[in-house]
């Protein structure tokens, strides 16, 4: 079950939470939440791929310009959509 992760993705996509709040929530849930233990390997792979983007989110353009690995809002939203698509498809496809 991926209820927490999917609800967070839905919240950021609909504007109920900011990208910064989303990134913090995903990081906290992935590292300290209980849901991770209930996920299939395919779901974990999809969420791990998204996590690898959100942990590098920075709201500061100057910081992103200096540190190329840092990600912007567009990158995070794209990763969230890709994760959602994989999960909703049953995560049968390998992560890109």
Kindly list the domain boundaries of the chain, sorted by start residue. 3-88
The two three-digit tokens of residue 82, written as one number: 């890709």
How many Å apart are CA 55 and CA 49, to the nearest integer? 11
Where residue 2 falls among pLDDT bands split at 50, 70, 90? low
| Long-range own/partner contacts, residues 70-76 (CB < 8 A, 24 or more apart) | 73/19, 76/12, 76/19, 76/22, 76/23
- Give me the chain's average pLDDT, please: 91
Maximum Cα interatomic distance, the chain, rounded to a whole number of Å: 39
pLDDT at 78: 98
> Hey, what CATH topology would domain 3-88 get?
1.20.120
Tell whether pTM > 0.85: yes
């Amino acid at each position: 079950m991926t209820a927490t992760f999917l609800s967070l993705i839905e919240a950021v996509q609909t504007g109920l939470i900011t990208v910064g709040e989303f990134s913090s929530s995903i990081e906290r849930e992935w590292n300290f939440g209980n849901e991770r233990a209930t996920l299939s390997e395919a779901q974990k792979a999809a969420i791990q791929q998204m996590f690898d983007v959100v942990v590098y989110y920075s709201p500061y353009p100057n910081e992103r310009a200096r540190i190329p690995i840092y990600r912007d809002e567009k990158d995070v939203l794209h990763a969230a959509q890709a994760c959602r698509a994989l999960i909703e498809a049953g995560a049968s496809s390998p992560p890109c």
